[in-house]
Structure 1
Amino acid sequence: MKPSPRLLKTLINLWPPFLGAGIKVRHIAADWKQINVQLRLGLTNRNYVGVHFGGSLYAMTDPFFMLMLMQSLGRDYVVWDKAGAIEYHKPGKGVVTACFTLQDSQLQDIRHRTAGGEKYLPELTVDIRDEAGDIVATVNKILYVRRKKGR
């Protein structure tokens, strides 16, 4: 059973690691091609110098590309996070947001590269922005995608 975007949004927002860190999913598109996430600066996610803790910034980006690909590609595919890296550009203060997007062309490319059962390691990037629109950090994710055998 494929969960609805609304149900998944509710479940993720109640998930203890996100709830404790102050991470909130604001929107999941009906076609799973866009997800918006925000993180408010609070006592549970600030570091020693009073700005966003880097681990919380990374955590707010962790599962979303994988979930989007799983939902967009369907049950015929294996999708896993393989690697991730974060590059910090400036201290995060106040509310920061990340907007994840998948293009039809990316999905077509993944389907093409995995059509014969080969694995493919797409690299996807998301920027974390502050309220002024400035980039606070850039997160690069490498995912493992393979079409299941016999599909």
Structure 2
Amino acid sequence: MASRIAFNKVAPGAIEAMLGLERYLRDCGLESSLLHLIKMRASQINGCAYCLDMHAKDARAAGETEQRLYLLGAWRDAPIFTERERAALAWTEAVTRVAEGHVPDEVYKVAREYFSEKELVDLSLAIVAINGWNRLAVAFRSEPGGYRSGGR
């Protein structure tokens, strides 16, 4: 395997810009529990072990249950997710997989039932952000396991 590039050290300005988006999203008004779920779901789709490890730890630290984390990959069949969460997860999957057929009209329609225009833009920005982090972590082979929630 080729040596890893510490992308956060090589391009600190770019990483700071991405962290600026994360700061915006943290304060945008969307539920933090919802943001954790979409970060986890996109990371599952993208096969990003580093981000799955990180966001599972953060979700647990914020009070998310083990059961919901375990069932996230099968959210359509698990009755423990709210309709708003289901709309967000469907939106997450469609935006993450946009190259496979764009965002279906029905997914957009359902998302608009549960999210205001601003919320849907913010949700989309959160999906854009996690997809970016996933691609960096996968491409530069970030290793899962070392992350500690809350800087611990």
Q: So what's the TM-score if we normalise by structure 2?
A: 0.27
Q: So what's the TM-score if we normalise by structure 1?
A: 0.27
Higher relative helix content: 2
Higher relative strand content: 1
* Relative contact order higher in (CA < 8 Å, ≥ 6 apart): 2
